C-alpha cells in the first residue's frame, strides 16, 4: 500500500484500503457513520464497501453534475439533522467528483465541521477531485461558485473500483491525469502520449504519480494564493464550456471532456502569449483530439462570455488564466483579449 502523509490529510492507495477504513473507524470511535453515494455508486460500489462497515446510515442522491446543488446539500444536512448527528459524526464519500465535492461541502459546514473521508471510485476523483480540500456547489449553472477549503481526514484509493466504470468515465479522469503531466512533468506526458489505452485497474503506479503531483502542490499552497493556480490550466475556458453545456445540451459534456477542450484552447493562448512551441501545441492538440470526441457545438466567445466573467479565479474584473511556457512549466495570472479567446475557440473548431 502506497501512502502520502501530510499535516492535514493522509492518502492511502492499494487493494487493502477497505481494511484500512475499518481500522480508522474503530480507532476514531465516531458517534455516527454516514455514507454518501449517488445512484450509480450505490449500485456498483456499495456492495464492495458495505461488508467492511457496521452501524451506518446511507444517503443516496441521483448521479450527475446537475445535482451538485444547494437543493441536495439541504437534503444531506436534513439527513444529518434527522439522525441527531453531532460533531463526532463522520461522512464517507463513496463516489466521483460530485460526491467528493458535495459531500465534503456538507460535512465541512454541518455544525461548523464534521470529519469526512473520501473513497473515490472514478479516475477523475482518484487523481483530482478527492484531493486538495476544494469543496463546492454549482450555483445558477456556474461551476463551484459556492464553496470553501477543507481537507478530508483520509483519502482511500483502490483502483479496483475502476472496473465498475464505463469507458467514458475513464476518459473523463484521463484529462486531469494529463493536466498534471502538462503542468509539472513532461516525461509523464510523453508516457501518456505513447499509449492509446491504459489498464487503469492495474495502473496504481501511474495514478500515484499523478495524484502525488497534486498533493505536493496543495501542500505548498493549500489556499491557492500562488503555486496551486497551476492546477487551473485548461479550466478557465473548460469550466465555461462545461457550464454552457450543462444549460444547453440534452447530454452535457462531462468535466474531463470540457477540460480537454479547455486545454487545447489554452495551449493555443500559451503559444501566442508565452511562446509555447508549435510542436508542443500540436502534440497537446493531437493527444486530446485522438482520445476525446469533438464537441459538435460551434463555440464562440459570445456564447461563453457570462461564464468566463463569472469564473471564481478572476481578479479585478479580468479573466484569469494559467498558461504553459512549455510542457511541464506554467505561468500564472495571465490575461488576454476577447479576440484571442475567440481565436482559440476557432482553432479548436478547425481541428
What are 129-177's pLDDT values in tens digits? Answer: 899 899 999 998 788 889 999 999 999 999 989 988 888 888 889 999 9
Please, what is the Cα angle at 137 between 96 and 66, to 5 degrees?
65
Find the Cα–Cα–Cα–Cα dihedral 123, 125, 128, 131, rounded to 10°: -140
CB 218 within 8 A of CB 247: no
Provide the CB-side half-sphere exposure for 171 (13 A, CA): 16
**What is the pLDDT, as a whole number, of residue 38?**
98
**What is the pLDDT, as a whole number, of residue 141?**
78
Grid look-up 484531493 returns 131
Q: How far apart are CA 46 and CA 48, in angstroms?
A: 5
CB 237 within 8 A of CB 341: yes
Q: Which pairs with CB-CB distance under 8 Å and at least 24 residues apart come from 204-207?
A: 204/2, 204/13, 204/14, 204/159, 206/177, 207/13, 207/123, 207/126, 207/127, 207/157, 207/159, 207/177
Mean of per-residue pLDDT scores for the chain: 94
Q: How far apart are CA 118 and CA 95, in angstroms?
A: 8
**What is the pLDDT, as a whole number, of residue 48?**
95
**What is the pLDDT, as a whole number, of residue 224?**
86
Q: How far apart are CA 158 and CA 267, in angstroms?
A: 32
Helix (H, G, I), strand (E, B) or coil at 8: coil
**What is the pLDDT, as a whole number, of residue 204?**
84
What is the set of domains in the chain, with CATH numbers? 2-164 (3.40.50.1970), 167-349 (1.20.1090.10)
121: Cβ contacts below 8 Å, ≥ 6 apart: 41, 44, 45, 94, 95, 96, 161, 162, 164, 165
CB 230 within 8 A of CB 332: yes
The residue ranges of the chain whose pLDDT is under 70 are none
**What is the pLDDT, as a whole number, of residue 5?**
83
Task: Dihedral sign for Cα 247, 253, 255, 259, please.
Answer: negative
Whether the predicted model's global pTM rises above the 0.85 cut: yes
User: What is the set of active-site residues?
Assistant: 112, 134, 176, 214, 224, 228, 232, 235, 239, 255
Amino acid at each position: 500500500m502506497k501512502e502520502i502523509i501530510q499535516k492535514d490529510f493522509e492518502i492511502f492507495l492499494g487493494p487493502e484500503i477497505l481494511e484500512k477504513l475499518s481500522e480508522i473507524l474503530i480507532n476514531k470511535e465516531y458517534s455516527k457513520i454516514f455514507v454518501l453515494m449517488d445512484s450509480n455508486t450505490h449500485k456498483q460500489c456499495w456492495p464492495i464497501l458495505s461488508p467492511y462497515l457496521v452501524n451506518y446510515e446511507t444517503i443516496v442522491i441521483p448521479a450527475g453534475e446537475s445535482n451538485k446543488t444547494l437543493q441536495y446539500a439541504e437534503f444531506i444536512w436534513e439527513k444529518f439533522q434527522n439522525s441527531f448527528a453531532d460533531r463526532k459524526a463522520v461522512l464517507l464519500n463513496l463516489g466521483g467528483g460530485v460526491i467528493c465535492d458535495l459531500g465534503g461541502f456538507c460535512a465541512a459546514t454541518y455544525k461548523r465541521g464534521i470529519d469526512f473521508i473520501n473513497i473515490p471510485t472514478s479516475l477523475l476523483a482518484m487523481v483530482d477531485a478527492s484531493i486538495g480540500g476544494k469543496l463546492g456547489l454549482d450555483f445558477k449553472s456556474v461551476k463551484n461558485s459556492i464553496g470553501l477549503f477543507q481537507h478530508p481526514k483520509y483519502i482511500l484509493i483502490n483502483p479496483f473500483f475502476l472496473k465498475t466504470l464505463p469507458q467514458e468515465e475513464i476518459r473523463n479522469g484521463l484529462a486531469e491525469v494529463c493536466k498534471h503531466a502538462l503542468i509539472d512533468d513532461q516525461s509523464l506526458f510523453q508516457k501518456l502520449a505513447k499509449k492509446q489505452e491504459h489498464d487503469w485497474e492495474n495502473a496504481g503506479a501511474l495514478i500515484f504519480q499523478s495524484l502525488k503531483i497534486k498533493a505536493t502542490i496543495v501542500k505548498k499552497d493549500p489556499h491557492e494564493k500562488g503555486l496551486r493556480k497551476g492546477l487551473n490550466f485548461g479550466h478557465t475556458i473548460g469550466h465555461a464550456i462545461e457550464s454552457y453545456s450543462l444549460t444547453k445540451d440534452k447530454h452535457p459534456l462531462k468535466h474531463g471532456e470540457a477540460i480537454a477542450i479547455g486545454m487545447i484552447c489554452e495551449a493555443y493562448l500559451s503559444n501566442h502569449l508565452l511562446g509555447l512551441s508549435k510542436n508542443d501545441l500540436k502534440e497537446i492538440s493531437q493527444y486530446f483530439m485522438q482520445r476525446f470526441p469533438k464537441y459538435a457545438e460551434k463555440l464562440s466567445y459570445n456564447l461563453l462570455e457570462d461564464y468566463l466573467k463569472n469564473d471564481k479565479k478572476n481578479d479585478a474584473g479580468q479573466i484569469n488564466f494559467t498558461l504553459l511556457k512549455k510542457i511541464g512549466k506554467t505561468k500564472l495570472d495571465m490575461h488576454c483579449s476577447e479576440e484571442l479567446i475567440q481565436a482559440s475557440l476557432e482553432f479548436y473548431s478547425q481541428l
